[in-house]
Amino acid sequence: MRRGYQPHFVQFGANTRSYSPNLTPQQVWILDDFNSPYGMDRDFFLQVSLNAHNTGGRMFITSNMDYDLFMNQLSTLIGDANSKRYLDRIKGMFKVINVLGESNRRRTAWYAE
């Protein structure tokens, strides 16, 4: 925000398909709980990622899904005709950071061991 970027936070779930992004240059998108391309709106993801690629924006994505598996499933959703064109632009945007450790959910669960 100090650099003039406009932040947007989207938590993926049942209502994401009705979300219409207002795309402008230099936006930062935080896409939370992005666990499967089958549970999200493919067109929304492509619009946001290509906007970030073309206008100098940024994307931060949290997910429990492995990066390579995600990209393979996304490629299937896009289809052979457009897969190379889109993935060539999108793959270069990602820096994968694997976070390992014990889940906080287990420590705070009502059935704690």
For residue 79, pLDDT over 60 is answered with yes
Strand order in the sheet with 27-32: 6-11, 27-32, 58-61
Residue 1 included in any domain: no
Cα–Cα separations (whole angstroms), residue 13 to 2, 30, 54, 84:
30, 14, 26, 27
Residue 113 included in any domain: no
Contact between 55 and 29 under an 8 Å Cβ cutoff? The reply is: no
Pairwise CA distance, residues 64 & 101, whole Å: 13
Residue 94 included in any domain: yes
pTM (two decimals): 0.72
Residue 93 included in any domain: yes
Mean pLDDT of all residues belonging to the chain: 80
For residue 19, pLDDT over 70 is answered with no
Name the packing angle between helices 80-91 and 42-55 (round to 10°).
50
Domain count of the fold of the chain: 1
Q: Calculate mean pLDDT across residues 16-37.
A: 78
Residue 11 included in any domain: yes
Residue-number span of the structural domain to which 48 is assigned: 6-108
Q: Answer with the residue of higher pLDDT: 6 or 63.
A: 6
The helix (H) or strand (E) run that includes residue 72 is helix 67-78
How far is Cα of residue 27 from the mean position of the Cα atoms in its chain? 14
Pairwise CA distance, residues 84 & 82, whole Å: 6
User: What whole-number percentage of the chain has pLDDT above 70?
Assistant: 86
Residue 74 included in any domain: yes
